[in-house]
Each structure stands twice: as C-alpha cells, then as structure tokens.
Amino acid sequence: MDTQQRQARPQTAYDPDTPEALVEFMSGGWSERPLAARAHPQLARLRERREALSRAYPGAYLLVPSGAERVRANDTFFRFRTATEFAYLMGDGEPGAMLVLEPHAGGHRSLLFAREHNRGRAEFFTDRVHGELWVGRHRGVDESQLYYGVDACRPLSAIPAYLEELGRSGAAVRRSDEDAELAEYLSEMRLIKDAYELAELRKACEITKRGFEDAIRAMRRAKTEREIEAAFWSRARIEANDVGYLTIAASGEHACTLHWNRNDGAMRSDALLLLDAGVECDSLYTADVTRTLPIGGRFTAAQRVVYDLVWEAQRAGIEAVRPGNDFLEPNRRAMRVLAKGLIDLGILSGSLDEALDPQRQYYRRYTLHNVSHMLGLDVHDCAKARAQEYRHGRLREGMVLTVEPGLYFQPDDETVPAEFRGIGVRIEDDVVVAAAGAENLSAILPSKAGAVEDWIAEVWSTA
Ligand code: GLY
Ligand code: MN
Ligand code: MN
C-alpha cells in the first residue's frame, strides 16, 4: 500500500478519520473471490458495430466514454445510466469507463479503460462513491477484457497520462461526447434496428403492458396521480431496469400539459387519465406508450368524441408507416384527420385546405406536437442524426418510431365549446417499419375506445 493510499482522508463532513493502522488491517485477510468471467451475450453483434465504426473513421482515434455518475446533492447520486453511444457499442458500462478505438494495421484495435478492483486499498472502505465495500464490486480490468471482448483493457487511473500522450502526439482524436460529427454518425448507425433490438423493444412493450395494467388496477381507488406513477414504476423496477423517461400521469386538464410529470394532481372518476409511460429493459431499450383512460371505467359522450377522433388520426398515421414513405407522412395523414375533425366540431372554420395551409396551421393550437420520433436505446432515439436521414429522410425497413397524435383542449380556451374544455387525449404506439408496412409492437395494449373500456373492466374484475 503506497503513502497516498494510507492517507484515507474523510470525504464528507460526517465521515470519521481513519487511522493508518485500520487501513493496514482492512487491506488484508480477504480470500480470493473471482467474479464469474464471461463474454457479453451479444458480443458478436457489438463487435460488428465497433468494426463498422472503425471502417467509417480510418486513421482516427475514437474515444467513447461511458459517462459519469450525476450528482443529486452533495455526495449522493442518481442511479447511473450508461451513455447511449457506449451502450450501443459495448452493451453496458460502468461509470467513468472509456472505449478507445486506436488506429492499427489499416483498421483499429479496441482498448477499454475500466475501473480496477480496489479491495486491499484504503479507498475500498473509505471511498463512498467508488469503494467496492460501499457500492459493490466493479467488473475489473481482466474481467472487462473478457466481457467486452476488447483487444486490451487498462485501469481508469491510466486515462489522464494516455490522453496527455495522445494530445502531444498530434494524432486525430474524436470523442463521442464532444465531436458533433461522430455523435451524428453514431446516431445514424442506430436508425435501423436489428433482430435483437426489435426483440428487446418487443419485450419492453410487453412489460409496459403489465405496467399499464398495474396502473389501471391502482386507478380504481387512487386519490392522486402519484399512485398511478408508483404502480407503473414498480413494474418497471421489478421486471426491468427502470422507466425510460419520467412517467406522465395526467388526470383531467393536466392532460393538456404535454409533459405533465409533476403527477401531484387529484384523480376524479369522471375525468380521463392520460398515462404516457414506458419500461426500459436491462439492455436499455425502452418503450414509449400512451393510453388515455376513463378513470371511472367509461368514457363520457364528450370524451368519446375527442377520443375517437384521435384514434382515427392515429390509425391514419400508422397506415402511413411503410418503407419509402417520408418520415413526416404519418404526421401529415394524422393531422389531416384531426384538422377535418376540428372543422366538423365547429372549432376550426373554413375548408380543410385552409385549415392545413402551411402559412396558418391553426389546427396546431389543439394538436401541439408532431406525431413521431425514433425509439430505441433512447426514448427520443437517434436525436443527433442529420435532418436528411431523419426528419426529412425516408422510412426504411427496421426503423422504429412512435405514432402519437393528440388533441388538447385547454380549460381556458374560448375557441373551444365548453363541453370539450379540459379534455386532453393522446394515443401513442411503437411501430416498426416492416417490409409489408407497419408492425405495431404496442398493439397488445388495447386502444379503441370500446376495447379500452373492456380492458379496464377485465383488469378490475381480477383486481
Ligand atoms: N413520452 C415522451 C414522448 O412521448 O415523446
Ligand atoms: Mn413519444
Ligand atoms: Mn410518450
């Protein structure tokens, strides 16, 4: 044990001083307990991705960090989530790690910096952030080399000297968290999902369905939106890693606030509950599903009018999900249905063409957002892809996107008949662009109004 390690300084105002003798005592007397070393189950696929990245950047050093723990307050942290770029290339990661693809023999060799074990050193029991006695064992250097199938693995402590040397060498270096072009490339790599990714997304939707059923069960007696959020989150933690984004549990007029996640409102049996929630698997692939549910089990006539219109719009949008259509086509189709419905309800005046006139777009007062984004490791996946590949690109087989039209009638909107004010409806599904058209992964959650009422009744009958 070197001098620096002996100095076991307290990290916080409330940590005790640690006498050197205790450091010495704690450093020995531990039996060998090797981790079961194994390769990542998806290693072949992960290697292919790293090789594709290597081919795209000949001669450059490519640095992909796993990300750091984010401070919640002082010395407490949020649960760590691996940076998406690292997860895509490595499967998963521990905080502070870094993948380096080093130019080598016309391609690249892979080098990983991973946190070393610290048992036998003072930090083992004095470092509340990295000490293995505090936070559990790290994967370690040797185990990481095998698990990630990299050509070499070195301890994290070697990173500063490595980067300094790299800086001095004048080599071309690109870092995924600093280099916009590399981030863009990594985003675009993820636009097309492979069979494993589709299976994970399917699983995320299946667990999400069970989470919605837990929420429906809770809805029967829940006094506040928090109980709905808690019911869903419980399923996400029991069967998977987490929720893929903050759950939106919006009852009544809260549904008109798009990202309502305060979830502190009251539940009323004559109101709707807009529940936008998705389970994130251990692999970090996430679902993103919205259902708008009558809290009392039955839609009122006014709620049903709005609901059916959004449902029709969503159906039109999903029908437009097919290879070769442009990304915005589902949006165009859905907005056409909504705009026509708004005219029929007397909320918009004039012809449909006038309503859709790009110079006015008045329908957007009630629709508020477009209907699609890519879905995958991130809920808003591939967000750094270039517009020509994403927003202004064409749908290609293997893409996964949401279709999520909504209508939101604010409670104080004088352009809306009184009976509709305070009603917000969104219906959101996760759809694969398949050769034959759309494959709706979340269709396992009922969405037609009558089917939603039947679903609630069925869940309640077994509660
Ligand atoms: N839950 C966020 C979204 O639907 O995009
Ligand atoms: Mn969404
Ligand atoms: Mn959503």
CA 276 to centroid of ligand 1, rounded, Å: 7
CA 17 to centroid of ligand 1, rounded, Å: 48
The answer to whether the CB of 404 is under 6 A from ligand 1 is yes
Instruction: Return the pLDDT at 3.
Output: 40
Q: How many CA atoms lie within 13 A of 422 on its CB side?
A: 10
CA 278/CA 246 separation, integer angstroms: 9
DSSP characters over 390-406: TTTSB--TT-EEEE--E
Instruction: Return the pLDDT at 4.
Output: 42
Ligand 1 atom at minimal distance to the Cα of residue 277: 1
Strand boundaries in 144-203, DSSP class E: 152-155, 173-175
Query: Is 284 in contact with 298 (CB distance < 8 Å)?
Result: no
Virtual torsion, Cα 302, 410, 340, 360, nearest 10 deg: 170
Domains of the chain: 3-189 (3.40.350.10), 195-461 (3.90.230.10)
The answer to whether the CB of 368 is under 6 A from ligand 1 is no
Instruction: Return the pLDDT at 205.
Output: 99
The answer to whether the CB of 162 is under 6 A from ligand 1 is no
Closest CA to 429 of 318, 313, 304: 318
Two tokens at 352? Answer: 């449909």
Ligand 1 atom at minimal distance to the Cα of residue 290: 4
Ligand 1 atom at minimal distance to the Cα of residue 428: 4
CA 386 to centroid of ligand 3, rounded, Å: 22
The answer to whether the CB of 381 is under 6 A from ligand 1 is no
The model's pTM: 0.95
| pLDDT tens series, the chain, 463 aa | 344 444 455 677 888 888 999 999 999 999 887 777 799 999 999 999 999 999 999 999 999 999 999 999 988 999 999 999 999 999 999 999 999 999 999 899 999 999 999 998 999 999 989 999 999 999 999 999 999 999 999 999 999 999 999 999 999 999 999 999 999 999 999 999 999 999 999 999 999 999 999 999 999 999 999 999 999 999 999 999 999 999 999 999 999 999 999 999 999 999 999 999 999 999 999 999 999 999 999 999 999 999 999 999 999 999 999 999 999 999 999 999 999 999 999 999 999 999 999 999 999 999 999 999 999 999 999 999 999 999 999 999 999 999 999 999 999 999 999 999 999 999 999 999 999 999 999 999 999 999 999 999 999 999 7
Ligand 1 atom at minimal distance to the Cα of residue 380: 5
The answer to whether the CB of 288 is under 6 A from ligand 1 is yes
CA 232 to centroid of ligand 3, rounded, Å: 14
Give the burial class of 435: count Cβ atoms within 10 A of its Cβ; 0-12 exposed, 13-18 middle, 19 or more buried. Answer: exposed
Two tokens at 164? Answer: 């300094």
Give the burial class of 451: count Cβ atoms within 10 A of its Cβ; 0-12 exposed, 13-18 middle, 19 or more buried. Answer: exposed
Instruction: Return the pLDDT at 379.
Output: 98
Residue nearest to ligand 1 atom 3, measured at CA = 288
Instruction: Return the pLDDT at 63.
Output: 98
Closest CA to 144 of 35, 4, 297, 279: 35
DSSP characters over 79-135: PP---HHHHHHHS---TT-EEEEEEETTEEEEEEEEPPP-TTSTHHHH-TTT-HHHH
Ligand 1 atom at minimal distance to the Cα of residue 404: 4
Instruction: Return the pLDDT at 6.
Output: 42
Instruction: Return the pLDDT at 1.
Output: 39
Pocket test for ligand 1, best of 404, 425, 442 (most atoms within 8 A of CB): 404
Instruction: Return the pLDDT at 5.
Output: 43
Under DSSP, is residue 276 helix (H, G, I), strand (E, B) or coil?
Answer: strand
Virtual torsion, Cα 234, 236, 237, 243, nearest 10 deg: -110
Instruction: Return the pLDDT at 10.
Output: 65
The answer to whether the CB of 253 is under 6 A from ligand 1 is no
CA 138 to centroid of ligand 1, rounded, Å: 34
CA 436 to centroid of ligand 2, rounded, Å: 23
Instruction: Return the pLDDT at 7.
Output: 44
Virtual torsion, Cα 173, 176, 182, 183, nearest 10 deg: -160
Query: Is 123 in contact with 116 (CB distance < 8 Å)?
Result: no
CA 252/CA 266 separation, integer angstroms: 9
Instruction: Return the pLDDT at 337.
Output: 98
CA–CA–CA angle 263, 335, 330 (5° rounding):
95
In one-letter notation, the amino acid at residue 51 is E
The answer to whether the CB of 245 is under 6 A from ligand 1 is yes
Pocket test for ligand 1, best of 291, 373, 378 (most atoms within 8 A of CB): 373
- Which secondary-structure segment (H or E) carries 64? strand 61-65
Give the burial class of 55: count Cβ atoms within 10 A of its Cβ; 0-12 exposed, 13-18 middle, 19 or more buried. Answer: exposed
